[in-house]
């Protein structure tokens, strides 16, 4: 159903005067406005790239990332038919779904310029660190001056029936008698409704984080409960604790922001190898004040170099391996206890 968007302004006498809609080639200007200030679409977005070329020959108008680390394809309808705009947006999303963290960082680097990294741009924009898990899910937003009934029907069908995370946003232009100009924004579907449908009906819906109880149960099932329970108890005395969909993470404060230092992954553990861990080694040394040799001596014997992604900086690198027994657990905890660091 076409949106009947109307706007009034209050004059000096307290009377309402309607601002009539005015003709303007909005869609030729929307991309520029959104690139300059994506908050007019959503304050929880940051632009990563503009006219991003896909592997299939198309160009995404705007590729964004949200505060959760998920990607958002923003496509302007312009003069495309309903079939073209929805098919094209879905095609772009299919490419975005497989982007690695490294590929996303390269796209952002090319757009941001001045040698700014994805991590630093994200922190500057949102005031917090880029999540360790990026592009777990993605969204699609079709932007237009108006949405025709056919496009509306297709978008609602995909969202309502299959939980596809797709929505449309229209912008409407008004001009008052005194020459002042106004832009109004309207979502086709309430964004919270889209999120709920995606979570409930989507075929690839984001899994919720595991609870502490569920993670402890995984540790018991994989015969590493003794190491898991003792490590969790000992580490939470010094670091803040939170869970993900596969791990319990322990974070410390670095330059007024929290970053993960060590993660325990009970679901990827077993009797033969032990309790699996990943540690950000530079953060570990910095937080607790360990020289490299002493820090290495505290780690389990079974460990190998590890990077969060292929081109990760030292801050996103370290070691992964297994706690084979309680002796290795106690060695790490006793070393940390001597530093008196508390999150």
Question: pLDDT by residue (tens digit) across 137-155?
Answer: 899 999 988 888 888 999 9
Q: What is the predicted pLDDT for the residue at 309?
A: 63
Nearest alpha-carbon partner for 323 in 215, 218, 213, 223: 223
Distance of CA 92 to the CA centre of its chain: 18
Give pLDDT, residue 206: 53
Q: State residue 178 phi and psi, 5-degree precision.
A: -85, 5
Closest CA to 212 of 241, 235, 240: 241
Long-range Cβ pairs for the range 198-203 (8 Å, 24+): 198/137, 198/159, 198/163, 198/164, 198/165, 199/163, 200/163, 201/161, 201/162, 201/163, 202/162, 202/163, 202/164, 202/165, 203/162, 203/163
What is the rounded distance in angstroms from the CA atom of residue 74 to the CA atom of residue 169?
Answer: 10
Over range 26-31, report the average pLDDT: 77
Contacts of 200 (CB under 8 A, 6+ apart): 163
The single residue listed with the structure tokens 């029907």 is: 153
Let me know: does 245 contact 274? Beta carbons within 8 Å: no
Per DSSP bridges, beta strands 138-144 and 257-270 are unpaired
Q: Are 323 and 329 in contact (CB under 8 A)?
A: yes
pLDDT tens digits, one per residue of 75-133: 998 877 777 889 999 999 999 998 988 899 999 999 998 878 898 899 888 888 888 77
* Mean of pLDDT values over 286-303: 95
Is the predicted pLDDT of residue 305 greater than 90, yes or no? yes
| Pairing of the two strands 166-175 and 138-144 | parallel
Q: In this predicted structure, what is the pLDDT of residue 256?
A: 67
User: How far does the chain reach from its first CA to its final CA, in angstroms?
Assistant: 53
Domains of the chain in start order, with CATH, are 7-201 (3.40.1350.10), 212-337 (3.90.1150)
> Residue 297 is encoded by which pair of tokens?
């001596």
CA-CA distance, 247 to 322, in Å (whole number)? 14
Average pLDDT for residues 159-176, to the nearest whole number?
88
CA–centroid distance for 55 within its chain:
22
Q: Which stretch of 39-43, 54-58, 173-177 has the lowest confidence by average pLDDT? A: 173-177
Our measurement of the distance from residue 9's CA atom to the centroid of its chain's CA atoms, rounded to an integer in Å, reads 38
Spatial CA neighbour of 47 closest among 58, 61, 30, 57 = 61
Task: Look at residue 23 and tell me whether its pLDDT is greater than 70.
Answer: no
Instruction: State the residue for tokens 């003709």.
Output: 23
Amino acid 311: pLDDT: 61
In percent, how much of the chain has pLDDT > 90? 50
Pairwise CA distance, residues 257 & 275, whole Å: 28
């Amino acid at each position: 159903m076409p949106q009947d968007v109307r706007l009034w302004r209050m004059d000096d006498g307290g009377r309402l005067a309607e601002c009539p809609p005015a003709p303007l080639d909005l869609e030729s200007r929307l991309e520029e406005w959104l690139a300059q200030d994506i908050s007019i679409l959503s304050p929880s977005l940051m632009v990563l790239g503009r006219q991003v070329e896909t592997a299939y020959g198309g160009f995404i108008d705007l590729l964004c990332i949200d505060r959760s680390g998920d990607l958002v394809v923003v496509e302007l309808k312009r003069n495309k038919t309903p079939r073209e705009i929805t098919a094209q947006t879905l095609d772009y999303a299919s490419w975005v779904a497989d982007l690695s963290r490294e590929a996303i960082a390269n796209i952002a680097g090319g757009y941001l310029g001045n040698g700014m990294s994805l991590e630093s741009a994200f922190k500057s924009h949102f005031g917090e660190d880029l999540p360790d898990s990026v592009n777990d899910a993605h969204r699609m937003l079709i932007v237009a001056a108006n949405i025709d009934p056919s496009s509306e029907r297709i978008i609602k069908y995909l969202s309502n029936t299959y939980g596809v995370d797709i929505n449309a946003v229209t912008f409407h232009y008004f001009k008052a008698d005194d020459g002042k100009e106004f832009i109004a924004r309207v979502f086709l579907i309430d964004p919270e409704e889209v999120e709920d449908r995606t979570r409930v009906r989507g075929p690839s819906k984001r899994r919720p984080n595991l609870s502490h109880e569920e993670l402890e149960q995984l540790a018991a099932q994989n015969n590493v409960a003794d190491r898991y329970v003792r490590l969790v108890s000992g580490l939470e005395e010094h670091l803040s604790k939170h869970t993900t969909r596969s791990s319990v993470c322990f974070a410390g404060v670095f330059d007024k922001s929290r970053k993960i230092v060590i993660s325990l992954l009970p679901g990827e553990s077993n009797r033969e190898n032990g309790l699996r861990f990943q540690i950000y080694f530079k953060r570990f040394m910095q937080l607790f004040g360990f020289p490299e040799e002493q820090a290495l001596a505290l780690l389990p014997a079974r460990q190998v170099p590890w990077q969060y992604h292929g081109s990760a900086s030292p801050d996103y690198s370290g070691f992964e391996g297994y706690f084979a027994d309680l002796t290795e657990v106690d060695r790490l905890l006793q070393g940390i206890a001597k530093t008196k660091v508390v999150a």
